[in-house]
Amino acid sequence: MTKKLIENDLTLAVAQFNPVVGDIEGNLNLALRAHEQASVEGADLLLFTELFISGYPPEDLVLKPSFIETCENALAKLAMATTTGSGIIVGVPICRKGRIYNAAVLLDAGKIVAECLKFDLPNYSEFDEKRVFSAGPRPKPVEFRGVRIGLPICEDIWNDDEVAARLAEKGAEIILVPNGSPYDREKPELRYEVVKKQVLKSSLPIVYANEVGGQDELVFDGGSFALNANGAPAFQMKHFQSELAFSHWQKQNGKWSCVSGPQEKLLHETAADYQACVLGFGDYVNKNRFKSVVLGLSGGIDSALCAAIATDALGPERVHAIMLPYNYTSSQSIKDAEECAKLLGCRYDTVPIAKPVEGFEQALKPLFQGTAADTTEENLQSRARGTILMAISNKFGAMVVTTGNKSEMSVGYATLYGDMNGGFNPIKDIYKMQVYGLSNWRNNHFPANGLGPKAAVIPQNIIDKAPTAELRENQKDEDSLPPYPVLDDILRCLVDEEMSISEIVKRGHPRDLVQKVEHLLYVSEYKRRQSAPGVKISHKNFGRDRRYPITNRFRDKN
């Protein structure tokens, strides 16, 4: 059936949802419910995000013909829903003439009206789309009920400043961009600048629809928005939250402009980072169907912050904290851990590790005869703790939470098969000084949709005391490492900015210290390769963003 043409009024619904990669039926049902609601509320067009049907990023799943077939079958069912109500723009992988494309498909009147294929396939940082997709042609306007729409997909607007201008030259009246844009600290402001540049060059309004939710290490923060043709803000959707939002547009003097829509606020800096950790962690646990989590609560700040994130993401009833004391565990640490668990409201148990550690030492005594105690014995403590946590996981089905921060992971201040045990790490991309910042923020704020207590949850003594692994008498982290403000600055230079030794020395750091940190960074690569995944917060995390060889003799001589 033919739908009535749109003249001067357009109601656009944007579905900023949280699809699950591979759950094609679930994503389809989510889309069908959104279409029903959008139609009831009078929307002319419903815009979904990039590859919504498959979930994003589907990675090598799109190389399976049965996966693509299932996605296209779902697309056909969604098209049938448009015999009445709103039209739909949805992202989906499709196969045409033996090639697989990342597509945005326009559906209306029960059929596929147009297919726009992504032409700029990102192949950097967390993206690897050239591996699995073919590039399509540059987009041309498509017609929806008399309105000519430009449909570039995500990266299509990032590297070519003229994309929107060319669409305008070909008759586009408004540009709608489906996105799967992952979060990092600078990304929200960067998106705005990218879109504004395209708007000012084309004199067309642009709607930027972004996915929300966690997918493995990536977090999509939503924050969908639109700019009017003069570059002024048109609407702003919620940050880190799913929603179906409606905006109303009018055409005057041949130009579309937004006359009403949501006016939400974006989160920034520490608040955004904390929300990203909660969302990424919660989605990893829930989408992988773990019923609960267990973690070692040591009385230190890293495990306390991880417990807070877990509780905010899952609720206290799904978090099990275990104190695993040994001879060097101070009474203050035991007190701090117990108080933290009490503030969080989660289950708390104590499992002493003296007997398991002594058992290992006794078994190894003949082999170790005549040697001095060193980090070997310290690591036995960590490995005993890891084994106990994994046993609890096996017995009760709870995922073990890993609690090492980015500073420790950078320099190898962690024990393989010990404190590195676990399924996911919410602070893997958080440097030590940021751990303090996030902890202080959480004690004074409550995250949106958080399930934990609306009060301070990390005892002040945990924040104030000197960090220590408590693996030997009177141990402090600074016995082995530079002060964390110094270490973190050097690591940011080496990891995030790829700076040379000389450039870092110019910042005031001793050359021998910088070289030592660089060496520790390189020789710890084998540990990081075996570490649990964790939420990506920065533009250069360990894993997707930084792929250094394990076998590596390079050292910077500059």
Which domains, from first to last, does the chain contain? 9-260 (3.60.110.10), 270-474 (3.40.50.620)
Are 488 and 495 spatial neighbours (Cβ–Cβ below 8 Å)? Answer: no
Look up residue 402 and give its two tokens. 């890993």
Cis peptide before 65, with omega less than 30 degrees from 0? no
Torsion of CA 30, 190, 175, 12, to 10 degrees: 40
Q: Which of 322, 295, 329, 300 is nearest to 310 (CA)?
A: 295
Instruction: Report the share of the chain in percent with pLDDT over 70.
Output: 98
Q: Please name the residue that has the structure tokens 């877990």.
A: 310
The side-by-side arrangement of strands in the sheet containing 174-179 is 142-144, 147-150, 174-179, 206-210, 225-227, 233-236
Residue owning tokens 């030590």 = 432
Helix, strand, coil percent content, the chain, rounded in steps of 5:
40, 20, 40
Q: CA 368 to CA 361: how far, in whole Å?
A: 9
What digits encode the pLDDT tens for the residues 413-439?
A: 889 898 899 999 999 999 999 999 999
Average pLDDT over residues 373-381: 90
124 labelled binding-site residue: yes
Q: CA angle, 196 as apex, 195 and 199 as ends, to 5°?
A: 90
Q: Tokens 């559906």 map to which residue?
A: 107
The predicted pLDDT at position 122 comes to: 85
- pLDDT-derived band of residue 123, with 50, 70 and 90 as boundaries? confident
Is 181 annotated to bind a ligand? Reply is yes
- In this predicted structure, the answer to whether residue 160 has a pLDDT above a threshold of 90 is no
Classified as helix, coil or strand, 66 is helix
| Ligand-binding site membership of 408 (annotated) | yes
Question: Lowest mean pLDDT: which of 142-151, 176-185, 540-549?
Answer: 540-549
What pLDDT shows up at residue 471? 64
**Whether the Cβ atoms of residue 522 and residue 529 lie closer than 8 Å to each other:** no
Residues 6+ apart with CB under 8 A from 394: none
Structure tokens at 89: 């723009």
Q: Quick one: pLDDT at residue 469?
A: 66
Give the model's pLDDT for residue 116: 95
* Residues in the chain, total: 558
Is residue 558 scored above 70 in pLDDT? yes
Around Cβ 161, how many Cβ atoms within 10 Å? 14
Does the pLDDT at position 2 exceed 80? no
Query: What is the distance between the alpha carbons of residues 283 and 19, in angstroms, rounded to a whole number?
Result: 11
Count CB atoms within 10 A of the CB of residue 400: 23
Contact of 407 with 488, CB cutoff 8 Å? yes
Nearest-5° Cα angle at 554, 551 to 558: 165
Residue 405 among known ligand-binding residues: no
Residues recognised as catalytic: 50, 118, 154
Does residue 3 surpass a pLDDT of 90?
A: no
Under 8 Å between Cβ of 257 and 229: yes
Confidence band (pLDDT; 50, 70, 90) for 175?
A: very high
pLDDT score for 551: 84
Give the relative orientation of helices 65-81 and 24-40 as an angle to the nearest 10 degrees.
20
**pLDDT of residue 472 exceeding 70:** no
Cα-Cα-Cα-Cα dihedral sign, residues 287, 289, 291, 292: negative
Q: Tell me which residue of 543, 341, 549 sits closest to 462, measured CA to CA.
A: 341
Measured CA to CA, the distance from residue 389 to residue 393 in angstroms comes to 6
Give me the residues paired with residue 16 across strands: 243
Which of the 8 DSSP states describes residue 20? Answer: -
What 8-state DSSP symbol labels residue 110?
T
Confidence of residue 367 (pLDDT cuts 50, 70, 90): very high
10 Å CB burial of residue 13 (0-12, 13-18, 19+) is buried
The CA distances from residue 558 to 65, 502, 548, 555, in Å, are: 50, 6, 19, 9
Share of the chain above pLDDT 90, in %: 82
CA dihedral over 485, 488, 490, 493, signed as positive or negative: negative
Report whether 527 belongs to an annotated binding site.
yes
Known binder of ligand: residue 303? yes
* 205-248 tens-digit pLDDT: 999 999 999 999 999 999 999 999 999 999 999 999 999 999 99
| Residue position matching structure tokens 């000197």 | 466
Beta strands in 398-539 (DSSP E): 399-400
Q: Any binding-site annotation on 187? A: yes
Q: Please state, in angstroms and rounded to a whole number, the distance separating the CA atoms of residues 410 and 495.
A: 8
What tens digit of pLDDT does each residue of 59-91 get? 999 999 999 999 999 999 999 999 999 999 999
Asked if residue 301 belongs to a known ligand binding site, the reply is yes
What digits encode the pLDDT tens for the residues 307-345?
999 999 999 999 999 999 998 888 999 999 999 999 999
Q: List the structure tokens of 365.
A: 């005594």
